[in-house]
Structure 1
């Protein structure tokens, strides 16, 4: 048997084969029972979280081109890596108050029927992990227009996070009808 080194391509092919043979569990498979994980963010005074599966991506707010005839909460469309995404101000949609824009503004890219949409938030709070023991009534967080989107909460150290259901938002007739009446 020869001790000559393998050609670089053969080494890379071996790496690829071994990498494909090793398939660690997906996050859903390795989660501990009773652990809820999601993306935390703030809208006004409300601390919210949405499931990882509902948020496709978190982006810095790109330049937005207004769309004539759109609802006031539809800020316009943005080019994100060659794909045009509608950009919606969630706070304006739910509360009637415009989100204050700043340099480090973030948007959550959410899947909706017919294509993704970028949802503007006030502040990104990062990953959040909650246990069944932290589950609570969302209380004031689920009042008003939030009621149909927030059905549960989690309390961590005296701070309550409402679980905001982006799928319900994306399917709601009012949100899907971004053209002004």
Structure 2
């Protein structure tokens, strides 16, 4: 820092330079019927969810078990001072426990009364589809998935189901994690 500049003026100058290099946020998908979301895998299902439902994506932190909780409630995690329930989504939907790995990812999902974390098997990142890629949701909406998948897309030999996380967190069974 130049000795002639006060700390305040230095910060103002730094802010001005940062603002001049701001590239902005990504633009929304243009065109009618365009859909954009986060792609991930849960078991054998290729899924997508709306960015509106996802607060952030994190690696799995240490969890503290909750006595009397369902098996799919892995426990509570301290995320920057907030305690969040961590749900094994595959166990909830399929009855099969997720194999935990060191690089495991979880989606932080908005829900009334506080956010919740759900485990996923693999993260693929942003996916964009047009109406021409629409597919029959029944192709991926088998079993309990069918309640949460009302839309699907097909591209590059893969069928992706749009998994409605907001519907999931409103489901009475999901909201009652105590056994």
TM over 0.5: same fold?
Answer: yes
SS of aligned partner of 2:167: helix
* Alignment match, 1:148: 147
SS of aligned partner of 1:112: coil
Name which of 26, 29, 53 aligns with 1:31. Answer: 29
* Alignment match, 1:53: 52
Higher-strand-fraction structure: 1
Encode CA deviations 1:65-86: one digit per residue, 9 max, x unaligned. Answer: 1000001110100111111110
C-alpha displacement at 1:15, in angstroms? 6.2
Measured on the aligned residues, the alpha-carbon RMSD in Å equals 2.3
Unpaired runs of at least 5, structure 2: none
| Between 47-56 and 33-42, the greater mean CA deviation after superposition | 33-42
Encode CA deviations 1:111-155: one digit per residue, 9 max, x unaligned. Answer: 111100010111111111111111111233111111110011010
Distance in 1, matches of 2:24 and 2:60, equals: 32
After superposing on structure 2, the runs of 4+ consecutive aligned residues of structure 1 that deviate more than 2 Å are: 5-21, 23-27
Encode CA deviations 1:82-104: one digit per residue, 9 max, x unaligned. Answer: 11110000000001000011111
Unpaired runs of at least 5, structure 1: none
- Count how many residue pairs are aligned between Structure 1 and Structure 2: 175
| Between 42-51 and 29-38, the greater mean CA deviation after superposition | 29-38
* Alignment match, 2:122: 123
**Normalised by the size of structure 1, how large is the TM-score?**
0.86
